[in-house]
Amino acid sequence: MSSQVSSNEGPRTFPNTRWSVVLAARQPQSPESAAALEAICRAYWYPLYAYVRRSGQSPPDAQDLTQEFFCRLLEKRWLDAADREKGKLRSFLVVALKHFLSKEWRRASAHRRGGGRAHALFDTAFAESRYATDSHSLAPDETFDQQWALTLLDLTVNRLRDEFSVAEKPGDFEILKSCLMADRGSIDYAAAAKQLGVKEGAARVAAHRLRKRFREIYREEISQTLADGSNLDSELRHLAAALARQ
- Of residues 12 and 164, the one with the higher pLDDT is 164
pLDDT tens by residue, 76-86:
667 666 665 56
pLDDT of residue 109: 57
Q: What is the pLDDT of residue 106?
A: 63
CA distance 176 to 210: 8
Residues 6+ apart with CB under 8 A from 55: 101, 140
Residues 135/52/112/36 CA torsion (nearest 10 deg): -100
pTM over 0.85: no
pLDDT in tens, 100-157: 898 766 665 555 544 444 455 677 778 888 888 887 889 999 999 999 999 999 999 9
Q: Could you tell me which CATH number the domain at 16-108 has? A: 1.10.1740
Domain ranges of the chain: 16-108, 137-245
Distance CA 53, CA 173 (A): 34
- Quick: pLDDT tens for 35-65: 777 788 888 999 999 999 999 999 988 988 8
